Amino acid sequence: EVQLVQSGAEVKKPGESLKISCKGSGYSFTSYWIGWVRQMPGKGLEWMGIIYPGDSDTRYSPSFQGQVTISADKSISTAYLQWSSLKASDTAMYYCARLGYGDEAEFDYWGQGTLVTVSS
Amino acid sequence: SYVLTQPPSVSVAPGKTARITCGGNNIGSKSVHWYQQKPGQAPVLVIYYDSDRPSGIPERFSGSNSGNTATLTISRVEAGDEADYYCQVWDSSSDRGVFGTGTKVTVL
């Protein structure tokens, strides 16, 4: 059974750093892209970026380029989303999801989400 | 960047048919995926590649895509279908994914 299990909720102050995780199981972790999706409170889904754990090829949406870092450790089947200096506007739910096969693939499996709250 | 436009809300009576549109420039040339998100839950894929259904998704859910509009159709709507629905495509010009604005489906 394919599963993506994300790390727990975080409460941080502006300016702090943060790294959240997404552990995949039940499939070949290095053979599928993993993506991150942001959902701000009461808002819609936003495509942030994706990573191919096999070779760490990474692509960012222009809105998120330079704002976050996506990485992966294939030895432990885990993808990460990282901030170096959080802002209050980073408060949101963050989902990881697996990209299926194909050039225009869908997100076929999703993590449960990690709630990040940034407040002074 | 590529923009996908959905109606903010759709209301439908139980047993009737709900149609949710997703508008985009020449979207018919792209593959469209649809996700259902219930309150407090992660999104779930309900239609992929325009009209395919993942295992476990009822046949009541169907999709079509042509011209500038893709449509998710929910037949014989049930109370449990009440959720937010998002379309998604791959924007080949930027080589990135894009989500639609989302539609809240209310079952009357």
How far is the C-alpha of A100 from the C-alpha of A105, rounded, in Å? 5
Are B97 and A61 inside 8 Å of each other by CB?
yes
Residues from chain B that touch A49, judged by Cβ atoms under 8 A, are 96
Percent of chain A past pLDDT 70, that is, above it, reads 100
Q: Which residues pair with A50 in a beta bridge?
A: A35, A59
Cα→Cα distances B84→A1, A22, A87, B40, B103, Å: 26, 24, 27, 11, 5
Exposure b/e, B56-84, CB count within 10 A at least 16 = b = ebeeebbbebeeeebbbebeebeeebbbb
Smallest CA–CA separation between A16 and chain B, in Å?
26
Q: Does residue A99 carry a pLDDT above 90? A: yes
Q: Does residue A30 carry a pLDDT above 90? A: yes
Question: SS3 of A76, please?
Answer: helix
Smallest CA–CA separation between B88 and chain A, in Å?
8
pLDDT at site B44: 98
Are B44 and A47 inside 8 Å of each other by CB?
no
pLDDT at site B94: 84
DSSP class of B52 = B
Write the pLDDT tens digit of every residue in B41-51.
999 999 999 99
Are A59 and B30 inside 8 Å of each other by CB?
no
Q: Half-sphere exposure of B37 toward its Cβ, with a 13 Å CA cutoff?
A: 25
pLDDT at site A103: 82
- Burial classification of residue A21, based on how many CB atoms lie within 10 Å of its CB (0-12 exposed, 13-18 middle, 19 or more buried): buried
Mean pLDDT of chain A: 96
Short-list A7, A4, A50, CA closest to A24 = A4
Q: pLDDT digit of tens for each residue in chain B (108 aa)?
A: 899 999 999 999 999 999 999 999 999 999 999 999 999 999 999 999 999 999 999 999 999 999 999 999 999 999 999 999 999 999 888 889 999 999 999 999
pLDDT at site B31: 96
Check if the beta carbon of residue B34 is closer than 8 Å to that of residue B47. Answer: yes
